[in-house]
Structure 1
Amino acid sequence: MNPKIWFAALFLAIPALGLGWWFLRMETKLRVVMSTGSESGVYHQLATELGNAFENHRPSVEWTLQSSAGSAENVARLESGVTDVAIVQNDAIANAAVRSLAMLYTESLHLVCRREAKITCLNDLAKHKTNLGSKDGGTFQLVRELLSFSRIELPADNLDHLGFQDAEIGLESGELDAAFFLVGVGAEVIGRLLSDDRFELVPIHIQVGSDVDSVVSEEAFIDGFRTHYPYATYTDIPLMAYEGKPRRPIAAVGIAAVLACRGDWDDELARDLVQTLFAHKAVLGHQIPLLSGLDETSSRSSLQFPLHQGAESYYRRNEPGFLAENAESIGLLITLALLTFSGLHGVKKWIDQNRKNRVDVYYQRVQELQTNANLSAGNVDQASWYRTLNEIESQACEELISERLDADHSYVILQNMIARCRRELKRIHENA
Structure 2
Amino acid sequence: MKKIIPRLVIIFLLVTSCNPTLNTFKFIYNDEGPNEEIALRMEELLESKFYNVDIQLIKGVGTNANLDSLSLGGVDIALVENYVNYQEGISSAFSVYSEVLHIFYREDIDGSSFESMMYSGPIYIGRAESPTYNMMMDLFDFYGLDPSRIEVTFDMPQAGVIVEFTNLFTLEKLKNYEGFKLFSFDQVENIGNASIVEGIALKYPRLSPFVIPENSYWGYTMDPIVTLSVDLIMVVRSDLLEVTVNDFTKTMLRNRQVFTSIDPLLFNGLREDFNQGILNIPLHEGARTFLDRDEPSFLERYAELGGVILSIVIAIFSGIVSLTKWQAQKKKDKIDEFYEDLMNIKNAIPKINQIPTAIEYVKRVQAAQNKAFEMLIAEKLVANDSFRIYMELSKETINELRGKMRMVKAKNARTTS
The structure-2 alpha-carbon separation of the partners of 1:59 and 1:201, relative to structure 1 and needing over 3 Å to count, comes to: same
| Equivalent position of 2:167 in the other structure | 184
Separation in structure 1 between the aligned mates of residue 293 and residue 69 of structure 2, nearest angstrom = 30
Equivalent residue letter for 1:94: Y
Separation in structure 2 between the aligned mates of residue 317 and residue 203 of structure 1, nearest angstrom = 41
1:239 to 214, 221, 239: 214
The structure-2 alpha-carbon separation of the partners of 1:80 and 1:156, relative to structure 1 and needing over 3 Å to count, comes to: farther
RMSD: 3.1
Structure scoring higher RCO (CA < 8 A, sep ≥ 6) equals 2
Equivalent residue letter for 2:60: S
SS at match of 2:221: coil
Equivalent residue letter for 2:185: I
2:126 to 118, 122, 133: 133
Tell me the TM-score normalized by structure 2. 0.60
Is 1:75–1:94's contact at 8 Å kept on the other side of the alignment?
no
Is 2:85–2:280's contact at 8 Å kept on the other side of the alignment?
no
Is 1:112–1:199's contact at 8 Å kept on the other side of the alignment?
yes
1:66 to 58, 66, 69: 58
Is 1:205–1:218's contact at 8 Å kept on the other side of the alignment?
no
Alignment of 1:399-414 (within 5 A): none
1:315 is the counterpart of 2:286: no
| Equivalent position of 1:81 in the other structure | 73
SS at match of 2:136: helix
Alignment of 1:368-387 (within 5 A): none
| Equivalent position of 2:413 in the other structure | none
Is 1:111–1:204's contact at 8 Å kept on the other side of the alignment?
no
Equivalent residue letter for 1:203: S
Is 1:46–1:288's contact at 8 Å kept on the other side of the alignment?
no
| Equivalent position of 1:150 in the other structure | 143
Larger radius of gyration: 1
Q: CA deviation at 1:239?
A: 2.1
| Equivalent position of 1:202 in the other structure | 183
Separation in structure 1 between the aligned mates of residue 34 and residue 143 of structure 2, nearest angstrom = 30
1:266 is the counterpart of 2:247: no
The structure-2 alpha-carbon separation of the partners of 1:120 and 1:65, relative to structure 1 and needing over 3 Å to count, comes to: farther
Alignment of 1:194-343 (within 5 A): 194=177, 196=178, 198-204=179-185, 220-293=195-268, 294-298=270-274, 300-317=276-293
Q: CA deviation at 1:301?
A: 4.3
Tell me the TM-score normalized by structure 1. 0.58
Q: CA deviation at 1:84?
A: 0.9
| Equivalent position of 1:347 in the other structure | none
Is 2:119–2:149's contact at 8 Å kept on the other side of the alignment?
no
Q: Provide structure 1 residue ranges, at least 5 long, that are not aligned to the other structure.
A: 1-20, 207-214, 322-432
Separation in structure 1 between the aligned mates of residue 192 and residue 173 of structure 2, nearest angstrom = 24
SS at match of 1:251: strand
| Equivalent position of 2:392 in the other structure | none
Q: Provide structure 2 residue ranges, at least 5 long, that are not aligned to the other structure.
A: 1-14, 298-417
Alignment of 1:92-131 (within 5 A): 92-124=84-116, 125-131=118-124
Q: CA deviation at 1:72?
A: 3.0
SS at match of 1:298: coil
Q: CA deviation at 1:253?
A: 1.7
- Give per-residue Cα distances to partners, 1:142-165, cap 9 Å, x unaligned: 011111111112447721135xxx
SS at match of 1:66: strand
Q: CA deviation at 1:121?
A: 2.1
1:34 to 6, 23, 27: 27
